[in-house]
């Protein structure tokens, strides 16, 4: 497991491009036949990627740094099929996930295994410490309620599906959903916001390999950018905006942890205030 330490906003000005990427961009979460994890001390989130192959299911094991007997001993977990389809076995119970579907695994699940549904299956993992037990449950992309935002004139038409939240699958602190850009739209989360109560991570997916997202981070009056490719994640500390423009339409998993779970608890930033 890779460890990322917390950062203070005053550090950003001194970061060159490699330093910025090393702190906030997670580049290689997915490798065939492996489960990879990254631990950020921002709200103690664990990001992961599981890429099982048809002949080799994968088991989620706790890295020594977690000092746990099993991964979900003190943690809750969300699993989202960002490429292909497959199944996740939780203590022997099979949960089939199609592309864009989400499984929430509650604290206490001992045995979590990932099975490929074809040659190219990728599961994104997002985990947070949990102070309570909540039911393991599936939310499907095709069945989720859709919030439609944006306007073609501002190139930000997008659909937001909330999976794990106060009015959906319940959890201790984890909040997660998927945003999908309409063809011809490129901007997510514009106008942007921060939320001092929560860390948020984005995992971009369904972006063609020869395209990129220009992701904005930093305090609103001192933004920086990361150039992000398909299936890479960005860690946004609570003080940071998290917004991006693609050279093509895309989807992303947004996921949060922290003080509260109110999706609408955002500190909006006026576009004219951005620097
Ligand atoms: O496109 C958007 O706007 C989003 O998806 C915003 C995220 O859901 C978010 O930042 C929630 O805090
Ligand atoms: Zn946000």
CB 219 within 8 A of CB 9: yes
ipTM exceeds 0.85, yes or no: yes
- Span 233-266, pLDDT tens digits: 999 999 999 999 999 999 999 999 999 999 999 9
For residues 163 and 184, what is the distance between their CA atoms, to the nearest angstrom? 25
Q: Which atom of ligand 1 is nearest to the CA of 195?
A: 12
Q: How many domains does the chain have?
A: 1
CB 137 within 8 A of CB 169: yes
Residue 267 maps to a domain: no
For residues 146 and 161, what is the distance between their CA atoms, to the nearest angstrom? 5
Domain region containing 23:
8-262
Average pLDDT, the chain: 98
Once rounded to an integer, what is the mean pLDDT over residues 180-188?
A: 98
Residue 1 maps to a domain: no
Structure tokens at 236: 């946004």
- Closest C-alpha to ligand 1, atom 8: 254
Distance 119 CA to ligand 1 centre (A): 31
Residue 2 maps to a domain: no
Task: Detail the residues annotated as belonging to a binding site for Zn(2+).
Answer: 193, 195, 200, 242
Provide the pLDDT for residue 265.
Answer: 98
Once rounded to an integer, what is the mean pLDDT over residues 194-213?
A: 98
Residue 50 maps to a domain: yes
pTM of the model: 0.98
- Closest C-alpha to ligand 1, atom 6: 189
Residue 69 maps to a domain: yes
Task: Detail the residues annotated as belonging to a binding site.
Answer: 193, 195, 200, 242
Once rounded to an integer, what is the mean pLDDT over residues 64-68?
A: 98
Residue 23 CB-half CA count within 13 A = 20
Distance 179 CA to ligand 1 centre (A): 7
Q: What percent of the chain has pLDDT over 70?
A: 100
Provide the pLDDT for residue 131.
Answer: 97
DSSP assignment of 75-128 equals EEEEEEEEES-EEEEETTEEEEE-TT-EEEE-TT---EEEEESSS--EEEEEEE
- Closest C-alpha to ligand 1, atom 4: 189
The domain that holds 68 is classified in CATH as 2.60.120.10
- Span 88-114, pLDDT tens digits: 999 999 999 999 999 999 999 999 999
- Span 4-21, pLDDT tens digits: 999 999 999 999 999 999
- Span 126-174, pLDDT tens digits: 999 999 999 999 999 999 999 999 999 999 999 999 999 999 999 999 9
Residue 44 maps to a domain: yes
Question: What SS3 state is found at 178?
Answer: strand
Provide the pLDDT for residue 139.
Answer: 98
Once rounded to an integer, what is the mean pLDDT over residues 181-188?
A: 98
Provide the pLDDT for residue 62.
Answer: 98
């Amino acid at each position: 497991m890779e460890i990322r330490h917390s950062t203070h906003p005053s550090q950003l000005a001194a970061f060159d491009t490699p330093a910025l990427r090393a702190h906030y961009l997670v580049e290689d979460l997915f490798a065939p036949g492996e489960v990879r994890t990254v631990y950020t001390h921002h709200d103690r989130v664990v990001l992961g990627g599981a890429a099982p192959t048809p002949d080799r299911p994968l088991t989620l094991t706790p890295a020594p740094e977690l000092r746990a007997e099993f991964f979900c001993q003190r943690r809750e977990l969300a699993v989202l099929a960002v490429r292909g389809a497959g199944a996740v076995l939780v203590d022997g119970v099979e949960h089939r996930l199609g592309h864009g579907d989400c499984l929430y695994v509650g604290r206490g699940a001992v045995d979590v295994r990932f099975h490929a549904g074809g040659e190219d299956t990728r599961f994104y993992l997002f985990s947070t410490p949990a102070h309570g037990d909540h039911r393991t449950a599936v939310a499907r992309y095709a069945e989720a309620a859709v919030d439609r935002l944006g306007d073609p004139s501002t190139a930000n038409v997008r659909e937001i599906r909330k999976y794990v939240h106060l009015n959906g699958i319940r959890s201790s602190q984890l909040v997660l959903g998927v945003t999908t850009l309409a063809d011809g739209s490129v901007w997510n989360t514009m106008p942007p916001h921060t939320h001092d109560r929560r860390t948020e991570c984005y995992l971009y997916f369904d972006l063609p390999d020869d395209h990129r997202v220009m992701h904005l981070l930093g305090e609103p009056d001192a933004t920086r950018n990361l150039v992000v490719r398909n299936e890479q994640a960005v860690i946004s500390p609570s003080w940071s905006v998290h917004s991006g423009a693609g050279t093509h339409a895309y989807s992303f998993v947004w996921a949060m942890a922290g003080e509260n779970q109110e999706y609408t608890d955002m500190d909006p930033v006026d576009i004219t205030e951005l620097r």
